[in-house]
Amino acid sequence: MRSTFNILFYINKQKIKKNGKCPVLGRITLDGKVTQFSTRQQTDPGTWSAAEGLSTGKDKASRELNRKLEEFKSGLSTHYDRQIERNGYVTAESLKNAILGIGTGPAMLLKEFEQHNEEVRQSIGITKVKSTYKHYQENFKSLKRFIRHKYGMDDIAFDRLTYTFVEDFDFYLRVNVGMSPETVEKRIRCLKRIVRRAIHKEIIRRNPFAGFVTRKPEAGRKWLSKEDLDKIMQTPVEHKGVNLVRNLFIFSVFTGLSYSDIRGLRWENITTDEHGTRWIRQKRTKTGTQANVPLMDIPLSILEKYGLPDKNGKVFNVGTYSLIVFYLEDLRKICGLKTHLTYHMSRHTWATLICLSNGVPIETLSRTMGHQDIGTTQIYAKITTAKIDEDMQALEKRLGNKYRLAGKQEQTDTNQLKEKAV
């Protein structure tokens, strides 16, 4: 229905030119939303009819003006019909862009993705970190390769996106590329983000992927058993570099700090409260959320032994991540561990072995880890159920013969009497 579609021309008497004429402007009203544009035309205010939205002059300039305004009306009506036919909807802003020649071509998926990534790049150090930008760039490359593989094109228009598109992309990542379920889920989630962005910008109105749910893998976290942690803490290590990495790893096991957090840890992040307890109060590098962790004896001893002079600002001399990975592998071999070591295992061990397994409430754990959502912390609570069998077996050994069921003992005595009678 066009009952809400209206085009009006008017003049701005506040901006009279040196030649005595005023600029002619256009106003599009559609579904209660209004947008204005310049016709780049001028007219004598004395010959302008506000009621009719045209010039009443009899000269050639007035007739030419009215002809051009009529062309604007006709063009807007044509664009209205085309957008309804192509997209199923139309907005006042899209009509203005069409009549002014802005974005007359179809909006393209990868072009919008590139614009999104550029905004992320410009936000590095403000609201984003460099690793986030790299993550989006990898997602962009995967999508670009898929479009070339499937359609033989360098880009695809938003109005060509269908439910089949995202199904094919999911299949391509899993089968053709051989990505893990975790990586596929991240790639699809990123694609959906770009589509939602397009909807918010009114590039498209409906979500072509509505209802599509990729097979999200069960979240998993790897953490150390107490036996493995004891080996890491107690095995002598002669190599200075490996020994430093070992102690930084242990520091994270008892504080929950990630590699990037411990690398960015500064002395100003370590405070002492009125009770003399020292705390780490630091914004997480990944999320910017405040983490508050009390320092226990073990991390305090590491801090005293390996902490740099306060004047340097940084607390620890942390090497590159590639060097950390290299030394962690050496540490694994020295300690005779079968488990592959990653630095982030220290953070997971803090959550499971150190905190949850020792009765720390999940709300407290969430604060120490700097999680934005307690749902993220609850993942660790699910993981600790894997320890139930191990813990119950240990409990059974501790209980031993402390408890005895009377009925069971009576049955045993009865059986013994029967045997004697026979």
CATH numbers and ranges of domains, the chain? 6-99 (no CATH), 109-200 (1.10.150), 226-394 (1.10.443.10)
Which pLDDT belongs to residue 373? 67
3-state helix, strand, coil in the chain (%, to 5): 55, 10, 30
Q: How many beta carbons lie within 10 A of that of residue 348, not counting itself?
A: 20
**How many other β-carbons are positioned within 10 Å of the β-carbon of residue 141?**
10
SS3 31: coil
Q: What is the pLDDT, as a whole number, of residue 130?
A: 84
The SS3 call for residue 348 is: helix
Q: Of 367, 387, 386, 385, nearest to 377 (Cα)? A: 367
* 199 contacts 208 by C-beta, under 8 angstroms: no
How far is the C-alpha of 135 from the C-alpha of 158, rounded, in Å? Answer: 22
Distance CA 207, CA 163 (A): 9
Classify burial at 138, counting beta carbons within 10 Å of its beta carbon; exposed 0-12, middle 13-18, buried 19 or more. Answer: middle
| CB 82 within 8 Å of CB 173 | no
Q: Which residues of 160-175 are buried (b: 16+ CB within 10 A; e: fewer)?
A: ebeeebbeebbebbbe
Question: 10 Å Cβ neighbour count for 310?
Answer: 12
Q: Which neighbouring-strand residues pair with 292?
A: 281
Residue entry with tokens 């007035």? 62
At 208 the three-state DSSP class reads coil
- Give the pLDDT score at 282: 87
Q: What is the pLDDT along the chain (422 residues), one digit of tens a residue?
A: 445 788 999 998 888 888 889 999 999 998 888 899 888 899 999 999 998 999 999 999 999 999 999 988 888 888 888 777 766 778 888 788 777 765 556 788 999 999 999 999 998 877 787 888 999 999 999 999 999 999 899 999 888 899 999 999 999 999 999 988 888 999 999 999 999 999 988 788 889 998 898 776 555 557 888 899 999 999 999 999 999 999 999 999 999 888 888 888 999 999 998 888 899 888 877 666 788 888 989 999 999 998 888 767 889 988 888 899 999 999 999 999 988 888 888 888 888 888 877 777 878 877 787 776 666 666 666 555 555 555 666 677 777 777 766 655 555 555 555 555 55
Rounded to an integer, what is the distance from CA 162 to the centroid of its chain?
24
Region class of 101: left (phi > 0), else alpha (psi between -120 and 50), else beta: left
pTM to 2 decimal places = 0.51
Burial status of residue 28 (CB atoms within 10 A of its CB: 0-12, 13-18, 19 or more):
buried
Q: What is the structure's pLDDT at 411?
A: 54
Beta bridge partners of 290: 283
Cα distance between residue 150 and residue 145, in whole Å: 9
